[in-house]
């Protein structure tokens, strides 16, 4: 589920993103802080949902919605506003729904939950190609991978499987992070990308820092301080 959150107020935008991630951690979310940024985003990406603030700093959200309707006719457009009178405008533009500020988490769950029921995730069918050498390529299903680790050079990775097997690949961790966006993988540290499904425990580690372990491994994987809050939100803890 790919979502665009378009709002010129950064804190409000961050709050909506947080609420979405709390109940839909697999969502792939992009942000735009202005109408111009939103239009640039719509020219590059397609979306399942667009949450659009009615009053953007540089233009009306209705203008962005009109462009979105032409470019992505199947996208569901949700107006976000503090003014209930904009509901009429929303439906005139064939918007699918609207939400009022401050946001009600139940409304977010209701809107996105209906989509998930009719569009179940197919992660078990999604596989990545691991190039162990020039002649040998292994295809791994996402459910086979517990975490991916940078080898320290920034150019290569080691992929850890649930079976305990390890596969070396000449791909940077950042490339894997982008490729697996929205697939329940989370970058907990500059060196580690973890499959959230297999997080086994989180515990204090090295002073005031934290680390985690994944199923099938005794390795202690450090969590960067700036990643801990997001990880807790993803895991609902």
Alpha helices in 123-196 (DSSP H): 173-179
- Distance (Å, rounded) from C-alpha 7 to C-alpha 54? 8
pLDDT at residue number 134: 61
Would you place residue 85 in the very low, low, confident or very high pLDDT band (cuts 50, 70, 90)?
A: low
* Range 204-231 average pLDDT: 91
> Looking at the predicted structure, is the pLDDT value of residue 154 above 80?
no
CATH fold of 123-235 reads OB fold (Dihydrolipoamide Acetyltransferase, E2P) (2.40.50)
> Looking at the predicted structure, is the pLDDT value of residue 83 above 70?
no
Break the chain into its structural domains and give their ranges. Answer: 2-118, 123-235
pLDDT at residue number 100: 87
Task: Report the interhelical angle of 105-118 vs 10-23 (nearest 10°).
Answer: 50
* Range 159-164 average pLDDT: 91
Q: Are strands 221-223 and 209-214 parallel, antiparallel or unpaired?
A: antiparallel
User: Other CB atoms closer than 10 Å to residue 213's CB: what's the count?
Assistant: 18
Q: Which residue has the higher pLDDT, 234 or 231?
A: 231
CA torsion sign for 8, 11, 17, 23 is negative
> Looking at the predicted structure, is the pLDDT value of residue 186 above 80?
yes
pLDDT at residue number 153: 73
- Distance (Å, rounded) from C-alpha 75 to C-alpha 45? 11
What HEC string does 20-59 produce?
A: HHHHCCCCEEEEECCHHHHHHHHHHCCCCEEEEECECCCC
Longest CA–CA span in the chain (Å) reads 63
- Distance (Å, rounded) from C-alpha 33 to C-alpha 10? 7
- Distance (Å, rounded) from C-alpha 54 to C-alpha 235? 32
pLDDT at residue number 124: 46
Considering the domain 2-118, what is its CATH architecture? 3-Layer(aba) Sandwich (3.40)
Could you tell me the two tokens for 109? Answer: 């769950």
Fold: same for 2-118 and 123-235: no
- pLDDT, tens digit, for every residue of 22-43? 888 778 889 999 999 999 999 8
Reported pTM: 0.55
Q: Which residue has the higher pLDDT, 90 or 186?
A: 186
- Distance (Å, rounded) from C-alpha 138 to C-alpha 130? 5
Q: Which residue has the higher pLDDT, 62 or 211?
A: 211
* Range 67-94 average pLDDT: 77
- pLDDT, tens digit, for every residue of 88-140? 666 566 678 888 888 999 999 898 888 766 665 554 446 787 876 666 778 88
pLDDT at residue number 220: 95
- pLDDT, tens digit, for every residue of 163-182? 889 998 888 899 898 888 77
């Amino acid at each position: 589920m790919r979502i665009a959150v378009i709002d010129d107020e950064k804190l409000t935008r961050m709050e909506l993103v947080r609420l979405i991630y709390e109940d839909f951690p697999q969502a792939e979310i992009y942000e735009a802080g202005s109408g111009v940024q939103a239009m640039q985003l719509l020219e590059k990406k397609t979306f399942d949902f667009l949450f659009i603030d009615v009053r953007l700093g540089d233009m009306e959200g209705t203008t962005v919605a009109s462009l979105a309707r032409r470019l992505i006719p199947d996208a569901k457009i949700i107006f976000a506003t503090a003014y209930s009178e904009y509901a009429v405008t929303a439906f005139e533009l064939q918007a699918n729904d609207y939400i009022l500020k401050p946001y009600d988490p139940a409304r977010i769950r209701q809107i996105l939950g209906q989509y998930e029921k009719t569009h179940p995730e197919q992660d078990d069918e999604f596989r990545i190609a691991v190039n162990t050498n020039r002649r040998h390529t292994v295809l791994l299903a996402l459910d086979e991978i517990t975490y991916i680790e940078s080898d320290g050079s920034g150019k290569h990775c080691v992929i850890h499987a649930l079976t305990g097997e390890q596969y070396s690949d000449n791909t940077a961790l950042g490339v894997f992070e982008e490729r697996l966006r929205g697939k329940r993988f989370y970058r907990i540290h500059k060196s580690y990308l973890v499959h959230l499904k297999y997080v086994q425990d989180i515990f204090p580690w090295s002073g005031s820092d934290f680390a985690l372990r994944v199923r099938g491994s005794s390795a202690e994987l450090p969590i960067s301080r700036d990643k801990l809050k997001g990880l807790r939100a993803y895991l609902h803890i």
